[in-house]
Structure 1
Amino acid sequence: MSSAGLWRIIRYGAVGLALAAAVAGLLLGDEWLWLAVEWSPPSGVWLYTDAGLDTPTTVTLIVAAAVKAALLWLILRTPRQGTLDRRAKALRALLYLMVANALVLWMPIGLLPDVVDAVFSLVLWAAVYVLYLLVIRWRSSGLRAAAGVVFAVDLALTANGVLDRLDLPEFGPSALLVVSPVVATVLTVVGQWRDGRWSRGTLVLGWSSMGLYALIFPFDWLVDEIFPDGTAATTVVWNTIALVTTVWYAATARELAAESRPAAGPSPARRRLNRVLVAAVTVLPLTVLIQPERTAHLTYSGGSSDCYHRPAFGDLEPEERDAVFLCRARSTEGGVAPMFPDTMSDQAILAYGRVLCRTEDRDEQQEILARAGSVRSTWGVDAWDLVYVCPETVGATRPDLLRSTAETQVDHADYIAEANARCRDPWPRTKGVVQATANYFLFVDGDPGYLVYDPELEQAAEEATDRSYDDSTGIGVAGTAALVGHVADVSDVCLTVKAFRAAPPPRTAGWDQVSEVPLISRSGRLSVPEMDGGEVGAGAPMPNLAIKGKGRYRLRVYIRANDAEEEHLVVVFPGASRKKLKLKS
């Protein structure tokens, strides 16, 4: 079978299938009618009444089915036979790819990430525009140059779609998104006319596709006036009219091999007019695209302000610091309102940030934030946010905020080592089976004490904490956990833990309080929480105090305090007694 015969079978089959599907959809119901005519799933947008499609939409779908079948008949006409060079063959293939994309390929491509669709469109149009310049016989270097400029502007604006999906800065005003394709279409049709290979019908299709852009706004206004409650008929009409452009692409590809007809020779007056038009379409898009130097290029980073991670100032390059401050200022983490209104540009937020750096007190900060329209002006701004925009100011009083993560870790380790070094073993001559001495860091805002517990059974810790307030020994016991309270208002204590195989002598001399309580280990472990990268816990590794494994133990706690610090000695040894003893108070 020849390629022409196969093409005719496809043409008759596709048009017949479209008409049959429309008839079947009319019989089966609204969803099937929409699918058969629009060639896309309903997706719910067409339901404007509880009963389904409104009457205007149903009538429009029936008419659109016949119109789209006719347009599909034109699209699938057999390509003209003739000799094509390599460039013309490539252009014909790309134009038919654009036709296939408009008819069917858009559905599978739509399942991919948006950026894939945007890149596909950009690459396809770039290739078509280049081949337009090479294949069309423009018969005028000025006209070809004008087309090249307009095509480049249109591609630059198409690239904005890719940049937007990648959250990168865009270029060019959005108004050109309407103007540029219109001008590109005009120049392409003019080039086809001067080439002479394309028929008058193809040229009419090109002019018609350009005219669609001018109908958008008045048509939408007219529909809103007639149907104030909305109707899906508008979508159907536009989807049908859009096929005119697809017919033009198909006709352009079909007639590429046609023999050239002599181009009409323009009169001298017409040639002068053509030069003026060429200059206008070349210069005007550039004058719109290039903005005056005094016009601010404002940016808005609110769409990407998820600041769950706050990088250390010292880890950032200078050019990254403003972005972090913007992220913090626009953050809605925890459901709170952002520091500044969403409508404020990045440049304005940075300017306000630098003004806030120069304030002398919280009241002045609140006044500036209120003037900026902040809904949380009473909060002020913290130094650890401002450090990103004015490190020289904040660093003068808070040099710790200028450190990198590595520097902070080293400083933190030095601080812990220094705190541990000041603590001494109060029983240096009485060695336990296992033992350790370290500084225990308490929670600054009121930690009741520290736990000696079975870490495999943490549920008892909360109950032990509650009981510590009511127990005369100051130790809350809940089976596998004991909460040891501190007696002075301190933020940390020097803690020594020792485990023995039997009860050591009481030796209460020199201690303010000595208490003894029962404790159980069900997993074979008893220990004290360690800091382990946090802010609360022992500053050094703590041993397992349940030296005989699972079973009952006795916990003896020695406490003494002075004005500067508080010292604890925790002694654990096996013991079955369940009594609570106050050996000294």
Structure 2
Amino acid sequence: MRLHRLAASAYFAVALGSVGLSLVIGSATPAWLVTMWYPPGEAVEGVPLLPVLGGLLLLGLVNAWMFWEVLRRPAPAGMPMGRAAVWLRVLLYANVVWLLIPSYLPDLVETVISLALWVPALVLLTVVVTGSGRFFRLALLLFGLAEPARAVMDALADDAQPLIFVTPAYRVSIMVTGLAAFVMMVMVLLAQRRDGRWSRGTLLVGVGTFASAFLVELVDALTKSGTIESIAEAMDVLYLVWLARTARELNREPQRAAPLRVPTAVTAVGAVALLMVVGPEYAPRLTYTWRGEQGLDCRLSWAPPRVADIPVHERERAYLCSVSKSDREVSDQELIGKGKAACARFAGGQPVRARPALLALLCPEVIGRRHPELLLSSAQVERQRAEERSRVREQLRREAREEDARCRDPWPALRTRFQATASYYDWDGRPYGIHDAEADTSRDAERIWDAYSTESLAVSGQLALVFTPAQDWATCVTAKALRSAPPPLRRRGWDKVVEADIVSGSGRLVMQTLSASRVRFPDLARGGPGRYRLRLYTRQGVDLILVYPARR
């Protein structure tokens, strides 16, 4: 038995056995692995088993036929083959092998390998074929290079901004390159027919490559199951068979072949498939959208875009992108019709379920009468928010200045140029601090918080934290920097008096900014680097802090 018969028979036997095994265990995984050549994942979940196995059995038969055609040996040479024909045969078989072997390489690498195999084959094909004029072959080459050029552009722009793929220029390039690929395939088949060395079966298989594309679209239009669509896409093996037959028959002698006559049944089936794919008129679509292209036309957003940010000619598309649901098959015209009907009800004062921000994309003049804020642009909204934040900050500063003005020095007899008084409001239950201006006090802060002290004053190293009692009014804080120890102050009138040592390595002890009015406290280290004594007098609403060099 020859190799192609043995391979085809063995593969079909294995495929048939895998289908039987899937029936026994109640899972389509074995048959899927043998016929589709990759794990099913979630593709077969929730789908009846028998239809899936029937499609996989049919796919196994188609794959066996494909192996039969690909592995057949070339016929005896009718004439000596030139060097160009020999290299063309090698490249065509290399394309078949590359398309058959599953690849897990990066997209850019796969694109480079595919182009390295196909572009030279296309150039050699235009050199080898006979019976076609020079201009015909030049046009064939130009049309054939359009699709590889777009593939390179897509691979290079893979990491670019997604906005590139929704521009009108990109969509036009998709249509142009698709049309160029169609024209190129037609011209190749015409060149093969004029050359005469390729059989009518090879030409019919080439024509069938168009039918396979229509088959996928037909299945997509008639079913909503990703499983059936995947099986239909896997049956697209006519292109592989056409490549193999084209390579195998290269050694035949060119001659004037009979005109290619496509059977009437094939023409009728193709016309019916085309009509079914186009679909009836009950689901019209706008020219800039199509089934399955939501990712190219729409940018995901949690909120609808503002109407002032969208050009007038783009507002309907923005509305469709905001209301379309991937799990519902509703035409664009139907969605726009429902939106405009909601606009009419809104204008008449009737309740509507749609959000006004969405309807503003279709009827801004209607929505703007009751919601003028929806007609503002993002820049205007951000400017209003900035003005509001500025107004709030100014209000806080004004209130803080009023609080500061109510505060008085609790020990006016002890005067020094290095003192300041400000109000401090414990908004979030956190203390205020005094620290060395150039020291990293993160570890000191960790030690203070880990100690969990309930004292009013907590000191560690070069950081001191003062805890104020919880109250609904501000605390007036006065800090004074002295060169020597102050005279004792009577404890009468104060709730608590505590002392602790704080170190200043840089010679600068600073008080954090307390008030929203930005009162600045002076440097509290009057004696330069060294150890300082910090004494805290506190009572309800008043803190007095004295800082002076510690005794040696």
TM-score (norm: length of structure 2):
0.54
Cα distance, 1:243 vs. partner? 0.9
Asked if residue 571 in structure 1 is aligned to residue 547 in structure 2, the reply is yes
Aligned residue in 2 for 1:208: 208
1:103 maps to amino acid: L
Partner Cα separation in structure 1 for residue 118 and residue 523 of structure 2: 65
1:181 maps to amino acid: A
Relative to structure 1, the CA distance from residue 252 to residue 548 in structure 2 (aligned partners, 3 Å threshold; closer, same or farther) is same
1:108 maps to amino acid: Y
Aligned residue in 1 for 2:442: 455
Asked if residue 19 in structure 1 is aligned to residue 12 in structure 2, the reply is yes
Q: Contact between 1:147 and 1:184, CA under 8 Å: does it hold in 2?
A: yes
Q: Contact between 1:452 and 1:483, CA under 8 Å: does it hold in 2?
A: no
Relative to structure 1, the CA distance from residue 383 to residue 108 in structure 2 (aligned partners, 3 Å threshold; closer, same or farther) is closer
Asked if residue 77 in structure 1 is aligned to residue 72 in structure 2, the reply is yes
Relative to structure 1, the CA distance from residue 84 to residue 516 in structure 2 (aligned partners, 3 Å threshold; closer, same or farther) is farther
Query: What SS does the aligned partner of 2:104 have?
Result: helix
1:143 maps to amino acid: F
Aligned residue in 2 for 1:181: 181
Partner Cα separation in structure 2 for residue 570 and residue 203 of structure 1: 101
Partner Cα separation in structure 1 for residue 422 and residue 154 of structure 2: 57
Q: Contact between 1:369 and 1:377, CA under 8 Å: does it hold in 2?
A: no
The alignment's C-alpha RMSD in Å is 6.4
Partner Cα separation in structure 2 for residue 461 and residue 382 of structure 1: 46
2:198 maps to amino acid: W
Aligned residue in 1 for 2:140: 147
1:104 maps to amino acid: I
Aligned residue in 2 for 1:340: 306
Cα distance, 1:103 vs. partner? 1.4
Aligned residue in 1 for 2:238: 244
Partner Cα separation in structure 2 for residue 346 and residue 460 of structure 1: 62
Partner Cα separation in structure 2 for residue 556 and residue 40 of structure 1: 76
For structure 2, the residue ranges without an aligned partner over 5 or more in a row are: 23-27, 260-286, 319-355, 388-413, 436-440
Cα distance, 1:519 vs. partner? 5.3
Aligned residue in 2 for 1:108: 104
Cα distance, 1:140 vs. partner? 1.3
Which of 54, 59, 70 does residue 59 from structure 1 map onto?
54
Larger mean CA deviation between 28-37 and 161-170 belongs to 161-170
Q: Contact between 1:481 and 1:519, CA under 8 Å: does it hold in 2?
A: no
2:188 maps to amino acid: T
Cα distance, 1:57 vs. partner? 1.8
Q: Contact between 1:57 and 1:232, CA under 8 Å: does it hold in 2?
A: yes
Partner Cα separation in structure 2 for residue 439 and residue 346 of structure 1: 59
Aligned residue in 1 for 2:89: 92
Relative to structure 1, the CA distance from residue 519 to residue 98 in structure 2 (aligned partners, 3 Å threshold; closer, same or farther) is farther
Relative to structure 1, the CA distance from residue 428 to residue 68 in structure 2 (aligned partners, 3 Å threshold; closer, same or farther) is same
Residue deviations 1:11-62 (CA, integer Å, cap 9, x gap): 567445523532442344321111111222112212334xxx5212212222
Q: Contact between 1:496 and 1:570, CA under 8 Å: does it hold in 2?
A: yes
Query: What SS does the aligned partner of 1:150 have?
Result: helix
Query: What SS does the aligned partner of 1:481 have?
Result: strand
Aligned residue in 2 for 1:482: 466
Partner Cα separation in structure 1 for residue 306 and residue 197 of structure 2: 60
Relative to structure 1, the CA distance from residue 154 to residue 553 in structure 2 (aligned partners, 3 Å threshold; closer, same or farther) is same
Q: Contact between 1:150 and 1:180, CA under 8 Å: does it hold in 2?
A: yes
Q: Contact between 1:455 and 1:527, CA under 8 Å: does it hold in 2?
A: no
Aligned residue in 2 for 1:195: 195
Q: Contact between 1:25 and 1:36, CA under 8 Å: does it hold in 2?
A: yes
Cα distance, 1:148 vs. partner? 3.2
Aligned residue in 2 for 1:47: 45
Query: What SS does the aligned partner of 1:108 have?
Result: coil
Cα distance, 1:123 vs. partner? 5.3
Matches within 5 A, 1:346-385: 371-372=360-361, 378=373
Query: What SS does the aligned partner of 1:45 have?
Result: coil
Residue deviations 1:186-231 (CA, integer Å, cap 9, x gap): 111111122233233222211221333344444544x53xxxx747
Aligned residue in 2 for 1:313: none
1:197 maps to amino acid: R
Residue deviations 1:51-85 (CA, integer Å, cap 9, x gap): xx521221222232233112211112234667555
2:213 maps to amino acid: Y
Partner Cα separation in structure 1 for residue 523 and residue 452 of structure 2: 23
Relative to structure 1, the CA distance from residue 457 to residue 181 in structure 2 (aligned partners, 3 Å threshold; closer, same or farther) is same
Identity across matched positions, percent? 21
Partner Cα separation in structure 2 for residue 141 and residue 42 of structure 1: 49
2:433 maps to amino acid: L
Cα distance, 1:347 vs. partner? 8.7
Relative to structure 1, the CA distance from residue 495 to residue 148 in structure 2 (aligned partners, 3 Å threshold; closer, same or farther) is farther
Residue deviations 1:103-139 (CA, integer Å, cap 9, x gap): 113x323xx3x44445554555444433333333352
Aligned residue in 1 for 2:155: 162
Relative to structure 1, the CA distance from residue 134 to residue 178 in structure 2 (aligned partners, 3 Å threshold; closer, same or farther) is same
Relative to structure 1, the CA distance from residue 148 to residue 452 in structure 2 (aligned partners, 3 Å threshold; closer, same or farther) is same
1:42 maps to amino acid: P
Relative to structure 1, the CA distance from residue 145 to residue 427 in structure 2 (aligned partners, 3 Å threshold; closer, same or farther) is farther
Residue deviations 1:253-311 (CA, integer Å, cap 9, x gap): 2233x143223599xxxxxxxxxxxxxxxxxxxxxxxxxxxxx999xxx989xxxxxxx
Cα distance, 1:428 vs. partner? 8.7
Cα distance, 1:557 vs. partner? 7.9
**Aligned pairs, how many?**
418
Partner Cα separation in structure 2 for residue 465 and residue 139 of structure 1: 93
Residue deviations 1:451-474 (CA, integer Å, cap 9, x gap): 23763254688899998xxx9xxx
Q: Contact between 2:497 and 2:535, CA under 8 Å: does it hold in 1?
A: yes
Aligned residue in 1 for 2:349: none
1:571 maps to amino acid: V
2:442 maps to amino acid: P
Aligned residue in 2 for 1:36: 34
1:56 maps to amino acid: P
Relative to structure 1, the CA distance from residue 368 to residue 208 in structure 2 (aligned partners, 3 Å threshold; closer, same or farther) is closer
Matches within 5 A, 1:407-446: none
Residue deviations 1:494-536 (CA, integer Å, cap 9, x gap): 9989799x8555699xxxx9985355889x99976989xxxx9
Relative to structure 1, the CA distance from residue 542 to residue 553 in structure 2 (aligned partners, 3 Å threshold; closer, same or farther) is closer
Partner Cα separation in structure 1 for residue 211 and residue 35 of structure 2: 24
Matches within 5 A, 1:294-309: none
Cα distance, 1:546 vs. partner? 13
Q: Contact between 2:215 and 2:232, CA under 8 Å: does it hold in 1?
A: no
Partner Cα separation in structure 2 for residue 127 and residue 31 of structure 1: 39
1:31 maps to amino acid: T
TM-score (norm: length of structure 1):
0.51
Partner Cα separation in structure 2 for residue 20 and residue 143 of structure 1: 46
Aligned residue in 2 for 1:132: 125
Matches within 5 A, 1:394-405: none
Which of 255, 259, 265 does residue 262 from structure 1 map onto?
255
Cα distance, 1:538 vs. partner? 9.1
Relative to structure 1, the CA distance from residue 60 to residue 247 in structure 2 (aligned partners, 3 Å threshold; closer, same or farther) is same
Partner Cα separation in structure 1 for residue 521 and residue 113 of structure 2: 57
